Amino acid sequence: MVHQKKKLVEEVSGWLRIHDDGSVDRTWTGPPSVKFMAEPVPPHEEFKEGVAVRDVTIDEKSGLKVRIYLPQHEPDYTDNNHNKLPIIVHFHGGGFCISQADWYMYYHIYSRLARSASAIVVSVYLRLAPEHRLPAAMDDGFSALVWLRSLGRGHGSYEPWLHNYGDFNRVFLVGDSSGGNLVHQVAARAGHVDLSPVRLAGGIPIHPGFVRSVRSKSEMEKPESPFLTLDMVDSFLKLALPEGCTKDHPFTRPGGHAAPPLDGLNLPPFLLCVAESDLIRDTQMEYHEAMKEASKDLELLINPGVGHSFYLNKIAVDMDPHTAAQTTALMEGIIEFIKKH
The Cα diameter of the chain in Å comes to 75
Q: Could you give the CA distance from residue 275 to residue 311 in angstroms, rounded to a whole number?
A: 10
**DSSP reduced 3-state for 274:** strand
HSE (CB half, 13 Å, CA atoms) of 312? 28
Compute, in degrees rounded to 10, the torsion defined by CA atoms 317, 210, 335, 75. Answer: -110
CA distance 91 to 218: 25
Tell me the one-letter amino acid at 73. Answer: H
Active site residues: 177, 278, 308
Residues 6+ apart with CB under 8 A from 227: 177, 307, 308, 309, 310, 312, 313
User: Alpha-carbon dihedral of residues 285, 290, 296, 297, nearest 10 degrees?
Assistant: 10
CB–CB of 313/227 below 8 Å?
yes
Q: Are 204 and 334 in contact (CB under 8 A)?
A: yes
Nearest-angstrom CA–CA distance, 21 and 10:
12
d(CA 59, CA 136): 14
Cα four-point dihedral sign 213, 218, 219, 225: negative
Say how many Å lie between the first and final Cα of the chain, rounded.
Answer: 65
